[in-house]
Structure 1
Amino acid sequence: MKQNHNQHQNFWEVDLRVLLLQWWEDISMFILTALTFVVLALPVIIPGLIMWYLLVNNFSFGP
């Protein structure tokens, strides 16, 4: 869609396919970033969950 710098683009002239494609690219990048954060945090999350589980069940290493 060509557009001069002096013209204002109206909402009803927006190509919804291009808009949805751009939205999907943005959302997929956000999801990829969140997934990367969760994967990198797993070495901290897993031991924390194990310790929480042992604490809730009153686990003790002693006799």
Structure 2
Amino acid sequence: MNIADIIQLIILCAVIFIPFGYALRPRLPHIIRRISGLFCRAKYIKPAGVRHRSASAGVKPKHD
């Protein structure tokens, strides 16, 4: 494969994907929202935060 073939492949990819990207840009937020709704449901996401201890496992305050 010589340099002319590589340049032709780059131009072909640009001709295909640049118009595809411009056509897809207005719809992209809706697509991302739909995909995140499928894969990022609450049952799949662990809560990000501090895990709370039960009342019996708490630290007892020291009296000084």
Q: Return the index of the structure with the highest Cα Rg.
A: 2
Which of structures 1 and 2 has the larger relative contact order (alpha carbons within 8 angstroms, sep 6+)?
1
Q: Say yes or no: TM over 0.5.
A: no
**TM-score, normalization by structure 1:** 0.43
**TM-score, normalization by structure 2:** 0.42
